């Protein structure tokens, strides 16, 4: 990190932390009905425990509390921080990284880049996060309290293709770092490399490290990645998936010497279950001594959703899920006895979705499409409203440009297989082409909203699609009508097949179908998201960081979009 990036990160971190409420969720509107509830109410839970895209989850326990972080890729703030008391209900309590670094590199959306699979640990009285950026190297951050403040990311080792770091502080005082490789950057993968590390994680102590597991030498193995390094009963264990995120499996490697040689065993695979490709995660020992394994399932448009498997030990090998009677390999369970049967009800919460915008700070479920600026929005200009100020498109200023390169989209994860998301929008602009709306966002996307014309506003439904996800989508206008007023209610209804229908209402009571059905599609390594945006087509100030005086001038503009009562609820029929 150069001097400018470090100073900017510290400044932005301070602003971000000061902006957070003492109780991070007090302002988020409680849903009348949960759109996804893992507790079955009979002493058992169901998988997934989180039906949202918390990719590559890592989980630890400290005392009575459980802590989780996950990949965040190009979204900012990044590295979500979740906390639980019963292992199945998780609430967002913050983010470790308010902005991505290098700051200038993430000024515009860098789809699929940024923060890849992190590792969370508690050591020496503090929390640690090791995370990779496949284009820059492996970073490390620390915090005395899980909610922060977190230290400025320190570049532990620079290099392309270094991913999925996992540390281990051994009983003899030595420290180690294990990581995988991304073929797209390094030119190879399917290998796990062990590095000697200074115990304070300030530097590595060797030049190349040791190849401890070579997937190319294991029959049937490909894309060995996502390792977690543990020690138990004098055995060193590497938990690592292989075979790819959609159709792979979870393996465990063990050795008496950390440098190997390692034995191999497949411990969790789809088998006869409906959970495809059980992928990387975390081994956690509960307060009562029982063991559990968190992992994700790639569910395409819904992202990488989080599962929890029971885990036991037999002959110093972990047994995950439910053992298949023929193969002996563990399979993911649909339901199981809850890990913690008694827990204070006040602490049982799921990641929020709805937001009434009653707080002066954004709800923690929201993330921007790139590094954000505080002059993009206001929660105080109009009480109980989110006001978005128009920003210029990064790639072009033409009205036909897509949202793919637009950084100032405020997004959140899909919270359930089927749900409705509605919001009230008022667009205030005198510039032709300014538009704002509600979007179902991925590498293909669709949105409904308002656009300003010379003497009126129009209601529009636009889609952006192409022949396949590897091609850049082209936005097109599918349906439009003159809007009777500049204030309208918008809705997306998504069914369990990932098919969305868009609606509008002038009064917020009876909704009318508008546009065609749209198949939700994932982004680059992430699931689809729902979000809000306001685009200005011209005469928009630069979206770079500006002085406080200029920020106030920007916020006094008469070009804005006000959003109110963002509500996510179970889907109903019309």
User: What's the per-residue H, E or C state across 71-90?
Assistant: CCECCECEEEEEEECCCCCC
As separate numbers, helices (DSSP H) first and strands (DSSP E) second, the chain gives: 3, 40
Tokens of 558: 């008469």
- Cα–Cα dist 524/498, whole Å: 17
Per the DSSP assignment, residues forming a β-bridge with 308 are: 294
Phi, psi of 32 (to 5 degrees): -65, -30
Tokens for 513? 């179908």
Shortest CA distance to 127 belongs to which of 147, 156, 101? 147
Catalytic pick from 53, 86, 225, 355? 225
Nearest to 544 by CA among 87, 107, 237: 107
Q: If we measure between CA atoms, which residue out of 300, 294, 292, 301 comes closest to residue 279?
A: 294
Which runs of E-coded beta strand occur in 144-262?
154-158, 162-169, 175-181, 191-197, 210-214, 228-232, 235-242, 249-255
Q: Where are the alpha helices (DSSP H) in 448-574?
A: 548-555
Instruction: Locate the DSSP E strands across 315-413.
Output: 317-320, 322-323, 330-331, 335-337, 367-368, 377-378, 386-388, 391-392, 410-413
Q: What whole-number distance in Å separates Cα of residue 262 and Cα of residue 253?
A: 6
Residue 164 annotated as catalytic: no
Distance CA 143, CA 146 (A): 6
**DSSP character at residue 364:** T
Q: What percent of the residues of the chain are helix, what percent strand, and what percent coil, each to the nearest 5?
A: 10, 40, 50
Helix, strand, or coil (residue 475): strand
The C-alpha atoms of residue 223 and residue 296 are separated, in whole angstroms, by 16
**Burial of 525 from C-beta contacts in 10 A (0-12 / 13-18 / 19+):** buried
Contact 98, 106 (CB under 8 A): no
Q: Which of 53, 56, 298, 487 is catalytic?
A: 56
- Residue 235 has φ and ψ, to the nearest 5°, of -100, 140
Rounded distance between C-alpha atoms, residue 49 and residue 381, angstroms: 37
In the annotation, is 316 catalytic?
A: no
Closest CA to 58 of 118, 15, 100: 118
Pairing of strands 445-452, 435-441: antiparallel
Q: Annotated active-site positions, please?
A: 56, 225
């Amino acid at each position: 990190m150069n001097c400018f990036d470090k100073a900017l990160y510290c400044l932005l971190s301070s602003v971000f932390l000061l902006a957070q409420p003492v109780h991070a969720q007090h302002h988020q509107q409680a849903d009348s009905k949960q759109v996804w509830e893992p507790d079955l109410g009979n002493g058992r839970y169901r998988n997934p425990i989180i039906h949202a895209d918390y990719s590559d989850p890592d989980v630890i326990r400290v005392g009575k509390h459980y802590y989780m972080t996950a990949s965040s890729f190009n979204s900012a703030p990044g590295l979500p921080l979740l906390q639980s008391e019963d292992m199945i209900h998780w609430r967002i309590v913050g983010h470790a990284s308010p902005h991505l670094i290098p700051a200038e590199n993430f000024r515009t959306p860098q789809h699929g880049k940024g923060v890849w699979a992190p590792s969370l640990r508690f050591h020496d009285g503090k929390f640690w996060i090791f995370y990779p950026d496949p284009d820059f190297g492996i970073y490390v951050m620390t915090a005395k309290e899980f909610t922060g403040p977190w230290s400025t990311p320190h570049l532990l080792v620079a290099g392309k293709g270094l991913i999925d770091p996992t540390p281990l502080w051994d009983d003899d005082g030595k420290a180690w770092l294990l990581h995988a490789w991304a073929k797209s950057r390094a030119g190879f993968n399917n290998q796990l490399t062990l590095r000697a590390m200074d115990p304070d994680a300030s530097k590595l102590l060797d030049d190349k490290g040791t190849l401890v597991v070579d997937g190319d030498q294991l029959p049937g193995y490909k894309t060995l990645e996502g390792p977690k390094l543990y020690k138990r009963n004098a055995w060193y264990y590497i938990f690592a998936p292989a075979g790819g995120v959609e159709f792979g499996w979870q393996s465990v490697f063990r050795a008496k010497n950390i440098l190997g040689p390692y034995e191999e065993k497949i411990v969790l695979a789809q088998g006869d279950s409906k959970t495809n490709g059980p992928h990387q995660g975390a081994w956690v020992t509960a307060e009562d001594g029982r063991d559990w394994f968190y992992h994700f399932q790639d569910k395409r448009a819904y992202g990488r959703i989080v599962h929890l498997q029971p885990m036991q030990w037999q002959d110093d090998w972990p047994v995950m899920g439910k053992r298949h009677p023929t193969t002996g390999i563990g399979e993911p369970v649909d339901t199981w006895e809850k890990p913690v049967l008694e827990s204070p009800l006040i602490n049982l919460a799921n990641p929020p979705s709805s937001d009434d915008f009653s707080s002066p700070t954004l709800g923690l479920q929201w993330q921007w499409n790139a590094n954000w600026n505080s002059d993009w929005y206001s929660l105080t200009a109009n009480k109980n409203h989110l006001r978005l100020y128009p920003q210029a498109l990064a790639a072009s200023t033409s009205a036909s440009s897509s949202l793919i390169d637009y950084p100032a989209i405020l997004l959140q994860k899909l919270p359930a297989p089927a749900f409705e998301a509605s919001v009230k929008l008022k667009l205030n602009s005198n510039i032709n082409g300014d538009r704002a709306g509600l979007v179902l966002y991925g590498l293909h996307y669709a949105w409904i909203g308002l656009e300003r014309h010379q003497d009126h506003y129009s209601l529009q439904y636009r889609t952006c699609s192409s022949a396949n996800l590897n091609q850049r989508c082209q936005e097109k206008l599918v349906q439009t009508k003159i809007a009777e007023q500049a204030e309208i209610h918008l809705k997306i209804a998504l069914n369990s097949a990932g098919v969305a229908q868009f609606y509008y209402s002038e009064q917020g009571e009876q909704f009318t179908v508008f546009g065609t059905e749209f198949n939700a599609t994932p982004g680059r390594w992430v699931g689809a998201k729902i979000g809000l945006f306001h685009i200005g087509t011209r005469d928009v100030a630069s979206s770079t960081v500006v002085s406080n005086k200029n920020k106030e001038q920007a916020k006094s503009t008469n070009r804005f979009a006000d959003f109110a009562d963002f509500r996510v609820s179970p889907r109903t029929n019309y």
